[in-house]
Structure 1
Amino acid sequence: MLLFLLLCLLLLLLLLLLLPPLAMFRQQQPQDARLSWLASLQYRVAWRALCWAAAWQQQRLEQSTLHVGRSQQQALSWCLQRAQGPCCPLRGSTDLSAFRNHLPLTKASQVQEEESGGQLPPPTSKQYHGEASLQATLLGLAALNNAYPEVLAPGGTARVTPTSPWPRPLPWPWHALGHVSPRGAKDPGALLLAALRSPGLRALEAGTAVELLDVFLGLEANGEELAEAVAAGNPGAPLPRRAAELREALQQGPRGLALRLWPKLQVVVTLDAGGQAEAVAALEALWCQGLAFFSPAYAASGGLVGLNLWPEQPRGLYLLPPGAPFTELLPVKEGAQEEAASTVLLAEAQEGKEYELVLTDHTSLSRCRLGDVVRVVGTHNQCPVVRFIYRLGQTLSVRGEDIGEDMFSEALGRAVGQWPGAKLLDHGCVENSILDSSKGSAPHYEVFVELRGLRNLSEENRDKLDRCLQEASPHYKSLRFRGSVGPARVHLVGQGAFRALRAALAGCPSSPFPPEMPRVLRHRHLAQLLQKRVVS
């Protein structure tokens, strides 16, 4: 909040200093020149303000990561002092041992049940709050500009989804920094049309990768209608030549479509969250081939837990910052995730080790196990740099075999690679008991896949997934050999099946933001939604 007020004050002072010369210059210029000069002035003022605020946040981050122990102590004190609800017996104390002893580890599902009192939880907010979200936005914009200097120039960026990848969009200067999207627009069609009318784009923004995947699938399905709207000038002036370019680009298929529509495009900006890797892989292989992907932060269970300061590095590296909420790391032991273990602080994390994130904030004073597992791959000053690898809640287990999200995705990727011409767009898994589909057979997995380039699945292709799973997991292979677990059953669903699933998930009152795409479905009505759309 303090940073926001200082930013507003700086902008006000700059505007006050510029008003007298602006008024004199305005009287001497024709109208078109006045508008162009004013837009240029707005851009320069906004850019100066952004650079100043980002530099201040970078300095604060460097100091906090250099003295991570002190920073975490301050974060814990902040959470305890601002704890909501019943009086906190730890308020005013920052003793870590007392904190751990008084507050046992809990899972995210337990916290939700306690807060809701067994009732339906309230809708999750679609907006991040606090300094962490502002820091992620400012540092992300600065990092993006350093890596791709032209994307924030006027007219260089368009958002094509109602949600934004930036955790906390900035006030007035925001649209002066390159956006061609209509202000306040929430209609996906209007956002996409504005982007299609601007061939000079250098960056595309979408809330998440799965949302962008839906945009490109919809663009293919409704391309002719969109071209007609561009040609007719709905909205804006008629652009028949641009409409012809759109039709020509669509006729050449999905591969490289983004660069055919926007030849100067350099980067795609989305907010990373659980279950997005498949959508990113599909976009990189087809529509967004040849483009870089950048996420300013990683969101887990509705909160920001990682900052991306390195757009030029391989995708998926995040710094765990030491500020609020208070972060602990729970060592993950293979096959023993449920065993009690002691948490470690950020400075105690060891490179190469895997940890589950544990967060404590002031809204629900509980040491919440998020289920998101990270691997430490480096350090920045004294803070760990991590890669998010899987979510414990997305594990398949019908006989205690524990097939993790990362293991299953890798096995499925190898199997799809053996299906001629197939590209995986999306997938979901169900333990057969959810669908009551055993009918006397051994417990097994029901796997639903959406593909591009393959309309039918042969029995030979379906069997390849089970063989890949056996290669990935000796325990699963042993259970299959003994007949305790049946072969995984693979179903091909029609186009739009997972879009319908995401719509159903978004309609849930407790849906997190951004929506973490589940890969293992636990609710029958969601599994049946995919089951009804099986085509092969």
Structure 2
Amino acid sequence: MLLWLLLLLMLLLLPTFTLLRQQISLEARLLWLANLRHRVAWRVLCWAAAWQQRRLEQTTLCVEESQQQALTWCLQRAWGPRCSSKGSTDMNTFRNRLPLTNPSQAPEEENEVHLPPPTSNQYSGEASVQATLLGLVALNKAYPEVLAPGGTACVTPTSPWPSPLPWPGSVLSWARPPGTKDTEALLLVALRSPGLRALEAGTAVELLDVFSGLEVKGEELAEAIAAGNTGEPLPKRAAELREALKQGSRGLALRLWPQLRVVVTLDAGGQAEAVAALGALWCQGLAFFSPAYAASGGVVGLNLWPEQPHGLYLLHPGAPFIELLPIKEETQEETAPTFLLTEAQRGEEYELVLTDHVRLTRCRLGDVVQVVGAYNKCPVVRFMYRLDQTLSVRGEMTGEKMFSEALAQAVGQWPGAKLLDHGCVESSILDSSDGSAPHYEVFVELRGLRNLSEGNRDKLDHCLQEASPHYKSLRFRGSVGPARVHLVGPGAFQALRAALASCPSASFPPSMPRVLRHRHLAQLLQRRVVS
């Protein structure tokens, strides 16, 4: 049907093409034709999005049926020697025969065996298609003209849109060297276009690395623009880049692209800190939008509200199959019953449980969501924190949310400091106790502070004691030593991310760890300590 629609449009426009060829120059004809192709592609995309919107309305109104179909699809795709529930898609039978699993408890080598390798097309399935199509339409509605020709640039090899688009995508896409995998080349193309309205990156941590690299290689990039390495020489634009860099990090994006309105990245575990750093420094004054929340098993949440300052996501009732495990003070019993989407209660927190067709396991993701509303009969959630990012040297269980808040409070007391990234290690991983009590080793990358005084380092431990009575009690008895804070040099966490991505089993998007469990990763940061 889509093909016939395109053929009809071309036949109707053929007389216009003939007339225009006789009246306007070649350059004007090419520009007119490009704009026409863009308008046609956008209409096709809107038509497809409207169809997917109707599908979403249907599935979110009939949630029980939609989840049953998702479970059946996952089981049928995964049937094999490991599937003990073959022949039955009853949810109670499924839950009884497949116990909950927690991949964070497995050794790294075992995880590497079972995880699928990353692919350029991050996800497949209806949820990823809907996230892309509905996200593009919602973004264009919230920020008119951002998707106009030449208005968008992606500066990373990976895209924030979960599903690649066919023909409309190639017409609507930004200028990009064909097949390029080089971040620097993509950034150079974006820098040559001062009229950008939207800046895209695979994830927020990747964009953080892009801006950090821009400050380091700014002069080199300016010379390439002036020399015309990727097109005609643009000495004036090169001068604008140099002047923008001279004024520092804060607000750099808007100085480079005065019409920029929104930053688009894909949300996943561990991205909030990078978003905060970008918003406070390079992307100050800009809105952020993530079309979806993704995990290694697929797209689990759709963002239909770009105007919301903090991402709200509709939990999709299709594949992968989602269950909700109630949270009680950040702990749950292994035998606690899971809920389906229709059973979610507003205001409550749940851990996501995912079943996909790649690994037939009911996998506890560790990602905790809070239900904040409903879309038809499906819950709308906000992602809160991750249970698996927990520090414990004496059974105290310092979770990601508590630690992040304590660290933010401590950094707020360090004059001029802005936190870019951090990672934590239990002292036993690095054998750093040296006969003293076990403790936390904390690595931070900062902007605005080159050295940490002993007084500044002590503030984190004080904030942790204020946040956790249990930790304070252990510190008072001497069972736990004071947290040791180390300042790492620029690029340390970029190197950590490169090491994580180089693993053959690395998934996309990368779930940025805050607690490192493996010595070689902790030592990578340890070697880059500057204070």
Contact map agreement 1:84 1:364 (CA 8 A) in 2: no
Question: Is 2:42 the partner of 1:53?
Answer: no
Q: Aligned partners of 1:89 and 1:10: how far apart in 2?
A: 47
Distance 1:94 1:471, change over 3 A: same
Instruction: Give the distance between the partners of 1:151 and 1:115, measured in 2 at CA.
Output: 44
Percentage identity across aligned positions? 79
- Which one-letter code corresponds to 1:409 in the other structure? S
Q: Distance in 2 between matches of 1:445 and 1:87?
A: 40
Deviation at 1:73?
1.6
Q: Please report the TM-score for the alignment, with normalisation by the length of structure 1.
A: 0.95
Contact 1:449 1:491 in 2 (8 A): yes
Secondary structure of 2:78's counterpart equals: coil
Q: Which amino acid aligns with 1:511?
A: A
SS state at 2:244 partner: helix
Given candidates 373, 378, 382, the residue that maps to 2:373 is: 378
Please give the residue correspondences for 1:129-278 in structure 2 after superposition, counting only pairs within 5 Å. Answer: 129-177=124-172, 179-278=174-273
Paired residue secondary structure (1:273): coil
Query: Where does residue 469 of structure 1 map in the other structure?
Result: 464
Matched, 1:312 2:307: yes
TM-score normalised to the size of structure 2?
A: 0.95
Separation (CA, whole Å) in 2 of partners of 1:364 and 1:198 = 44
Are 1:361 and 2:360 matched, yes or no? no
Task: Indicate conservation of the 8 Å contact 1:112/1:121, yes or no.
Answer: no
- For the residues of structure 2 that align with 1:504 and 1:361, how far apart are their CA atoms? 27
The code of the aligned residue for 1:173 comes to P
In structure 2, the residue matched to 1:350 is 345
CA spacing shift, 1:351–1:426, aligned 2, 3 Å: same
Q: Distance in 2 between matches of 1:510 and 1:125?
A: 11
Separation in 2, partners of 1:426, 1:193: 25
Q: How many residues align?
A: 530
Q: Which moved more, 1:362-371 or 1:178-187?
A: 178-187
| Inter-partner Cα distance in structure 1 for 2:130 and 2:233 | 41
Q: Could you tell me how far 1:18 is from its partner in structure 2?
A: 3.9
Partner-residue secondary structure (3-state), 1:411: helix
- Post-superposition Cα deviations, 1:202-224, rounded to whole Å, max 9, x if no partner, equal 00000111110111111111111
Which residue is equivalent to 1:123?
117
2:478 corresponds to: 483
1:314 deviation in Å? 2.3
More divergent stretch after superposition (155-164 vs 57-66):
57-66
What SS does the aligned partner of 1:272 have?
A: coil
Find out whether 1:391 has 2:386 as its counterpart. Answer: yes
Q: What secondary structure does 1:490 align onto? A: strand
Q: Deviations over 1:169-197 (max 9, x none)?
A: 21232243251333332211111111111
Q: Aligned AA for 2:72? A: S
Q: Is 1:334 equivalent to 2:329 in the alignment?
A: yes
Q: Could you say if the C-alpha distance between residues 416 and 359 of structure 1 is closer, same or farther in structure 2, counting changes exceeding 3 Å? A: same
Measured against aligned partners, the alpha-carbon deviations of 1:372-399 in whole angstroms (never above 9, x if no partner) come to 1111111111111111111121111111
Aligned 8 A contact 2:226 2:237 in 1: yes
Displacement of 1:134 in angstroms is 1.2
What's the counterpart of residue 418 of structure 1? 413
CA shift at 1:108, angstroms?
2.9
Question: 1:498/1:194 Cα in 2 relative to 1: closer, same or farther (>3 Å)?
Answer: same
Gap runs ≥5 in structure 2: none
- The secondary structure found in structure 2 opposite 1:530 is helix
2:115–2:507 CA contact under 8 A, matched in 1 = no
Conserved in 1, the CA contact under 8 Å of 2:204 and 2:271?
Answer: yes
The match for 1:324 is 319
Instruction: Give the deviation of 1:335 after TM superposition.
Output: 5.3
Is residue 99 from structure 1 mapped to residue 127 from structure 2 by the alignment? no
Counterparts of 2:214 and 2:338, CA distance in 1: 47
How far apart in 2 are the matches of 1:436 and 1:89?
A: 43
Residues 428 and 449 in structure 1, CA contact (< 8 A), matched pair in contact too: yes
Q: CA deviation at 1:14?
A: 3.6
Note if 1:526 corresponds to 2:526. no
- Structure 2 CA distance for partners of 1:98 and 1:10, relative to 1, 3 Å: farther
Q: For 1:102 and 1:302, how far apart are their aligned partners in 2?
A: 20
TM-aligned CA deviation for residue 59 of structure 1: 1.2
Residue 3 (structure 1) aligns with:
none
- When residues 7 and 513 of structure 1 are mapped into structure 2, their CA distance, relative to the original with a 3 A threshold, is farther
Q: How far apart, in 1, do the equivalents of 2:525 and 2:52 lie?
A: 45
Show CA shifts across 1:69-91 (max 9, x none). Answer: 12112212222233243384544
- Residues 85, 23 of structure 1: alpha-carbon distance in 2 compared, 3 angstrom cutoff: farther
Shift of 1:404: 0.8
Q: Is the 8 A contact 2:251 2:281 kept in 1?
A: yes
Alpha-carbon distance between aligned partners in 1 of 2:116 and 2:75, rounded to the nearest angstrom? 24
Gaps of 5+ in 1: 1-5
State the SS of the aligned residue for 1:379. strand
Q: Secondary structure at the match of 2:59?
A: helix
Of 379, 401, 406, the match for 1:406? 401
